[in-house]
Structure 1
């Protein structure tokens, strides 16, 4: 990290801690509500026309020759052929792989991008009229959750974990419908799931054992499609596409 970035971070911390005047609050904080509102309105209108899809989460840092990138592309291709549209974060890495698979599978390919100082840019496999841009993470996350028929979670970092646990929490608390959450990669996810079982469930009892029924771990594209299809057959539903 450069000296300039340190100074910028230091300035941002100081700005958060200082006491603001009423004029500063009205100018900066209160008027931000209208920007937030506009992002919600634009997002709802755009996504409402597109309809529900399957969200694919994963790392922006995954290279195009990485096995997880290639697997995400196969998954998106397979589920597109199965009739599902695909939503990703619109950036590089796993997101690009998801949009690429959907694009070549002839399915709907949606990108919900976020303004970041690093890592993020639109990938070229998003449908031209399904390319949305956001300044606020929480608005973007609402779009992921509200318009998802299922969640496919590839290996990733803090952002991926945040999106996954957000979906689990909202389903667990019945704020959204019980759509499938599919974690791809037994080797990657088994350590986290073992910790959830041994620490959260057994030792501290902060999570109910039944909550793990919301999650399924798989290793290939056929298992992902099978998990989605079995869920929809169970409830006598079908994909929107």
Structure 2
């Protein structure tokens, strides 16, 4: 007969972190060596939801989170979100999907206003939130299953850029400037197809940025100053988009989807 009197059970082995299934092990998934995996997952999760909803292209709206309801910039962004959703095609979907859906950073202020305007038009809208030290709450106006939360700014920027058919930038701070110059650089360098970029409130932007200084110093080309336009009303902002896009302001085609 085999001797089993001193045979241990396997409880210690089962309790060891090494025995956990990799996909269910938070210490492993959130560890340093799996950062690349987490980066990939942030891309894929949002992409799956966007595809499930048939989102082909977006109108991205940036601006300060500190602007409050009732203030002119808030109400202008709200009006723009509604107007662009009604006229841009977001209310109707082709057999391929839906174009020109309002997309924001998902937080308060200008972002809330643009999502709100789109919702008031009866359209879908997207919120690409980011985890911050002082937690950013998603605003209540983005479509629930199109409301995302990212850890990595880089992946959030990628999703904001990759479907953007136009960009409207309301007054904002460092984060707004970061997103603006990211998109300008992608277009300038040819890493992204040209899209209309509209700066809302000419007086604010011209007081803040004198980009002619860079052109005069030879640090950008003179034609780079034509990568963006100004607008002072929601109607003008939408007109600048249509004007800047030209023949490209149309429903998606199979070629665009494959690209």
What TM bracket, shorter-length normalisation?
0.7 to 0.9
Matches within 5 A, 1:51-62: 51-62=56-67
CA distance in 2, matches of 1:73, 1:65: 10
**Could you tell me which of 211, 223, 230 is aligned with 1:196?**
211
1:235 is matched with 247
CA distance in 2, matches of 1:208, 1:41: 37
Q: Does 1:224 align with 2:237?
A: yes
CA distance in 2, matches of 1:225, 1:165: 21
CA distance in 2, matches of 1:237, 1:95: 23
Contact 1:200–1:206 (CA under 8 A) maintained in structure 2: yes
Contact 2:42–2:155 (CA under 8 A) maintained in structure 1: yes
**Could you tell me which of 195, 213, 220 is aligned with 1:179?**
195
CA distance in 2, matches of 1:160, 1:236: 26
CA distance in 1, matches of 2:56, 2:187: 19
1:159 is matched with 175
CA distance in 1, matches of 2:37, 2:148: 18
**Could you tell me which of 205, 212, 216 is aligned with 2:218?**
205
CA distance in 2, matches of 1:139, 1:208: 29
CA RMSD of aligned residues (A): 1.5
1:36 is matched with 39
SS in 2 for 1:50: coil
SS in 1 for 2:145: coil
Contact 2:126–2:146 (CA under 8 A) maintained in structure 1: yes
Q: Flag the 1:223–1:119 CA change in 2: closer, same or farther, 3 A.
A: farther
| Bigger radius of gyration | 2
SS in 2 for 1:112: strand
Q: Is there any run of 5+ residues in structure 2 with no aligned partner, and where?
A: 1-29, 90-99, 253-259
What displacement does 1:191 show? 2.2
Per-residue Cα deviation, 1:171-197 (whole angstroms, up to 9, x for no partner)? 00000110000000011101244x210
Q: Does 1:135 align with 2:151?
A: yes
Q: Flag the 1:81–1:209 CA change in 2: closer, same or farther, 3 A.
A: same
Q: Is there any run of 5+ residues in structure 1 with no aligned partner, and where?
A: 1-26
What displacement does 1:64 show? 1.2
What displacement does 1:119 show? 6.2
Contact 1:47–1:143 (CA under 8 A) maintained in structure 2: no
Higher helix share goes to which structure?
Answer: 1
SS in 1 for 2:220: coil
CA distance in 2, matches of 1:81, 1:117: 36
Runs of 4+ in 1 over 6 A off after TM superposition: none
CA distance in 2, matches of 1:164, 1:239: 25
SS in 2 for 1:217: strand
TM-score by length of 2: 0.77
What displacement does 1:41 show? 1.1
